[in-house]
Amino acid sequence: MKKYLSDYIAFIEKALADNSLSREEMERIFDEMPLQIGFMQHERLIHLIVTVLFALLLFIAMTAAAALKIPAFFLLSLLLLALLIPYISHYYFLENNVQKLYSLYNALNDKIKKSHNP
């Protein structure tokens, strides 16, 4: 997903920088962007749910480890922490880049408007 989103952002940035694109080409890209943004928003929501679930499980496991002093809960806490860190990192990437897509969408809209009114 990181590659897909990064490639799509690069494509949009290239389209914004390309002054040889016709207004129709820019509008086609602009009309497709809400669909792509929707895909990324869905992906971001799923990863938020998974990240929060792992954080809650980690909290429960750490509480159980502290209260019950059972070594398996300490091990489970470490395992959940090891999984939670990459989930947080990936969610951070998705969140920031979806917000970047919003900015690119607005920038492309502005470019289309300017091409209509020179």
Residue 87 pLDDT more than 90? Answer: yes
Which of the four pLDDT bands, split at 50, 70 and 90, describes residue 1?
confident
Task: Calculate what percentage of the chain has a pLDDT beyond 70.
Answer: 97
Which of the four pLDDT bands, split at 50, 70 and 90, describes residue 114?
confident
* pLDDT at residue 115, rounded to an integer: 83
SS (H, E, C) the chain: CHHHHHHHHHHHHHHHHCCCCCHHHHHHHHHHHHHHHHHHHHHHHHHHHHHHHHHHHHHHHHHHHHHHCCHHHHHHHHHHHHHHHHHHHHHHHHHHHHHHHHHHHHHHHHHHHHHHCC
* pLDDT at residue 118, rounded to an integer: 54
Please give the mean pLDDT across all residues of the chain: 94
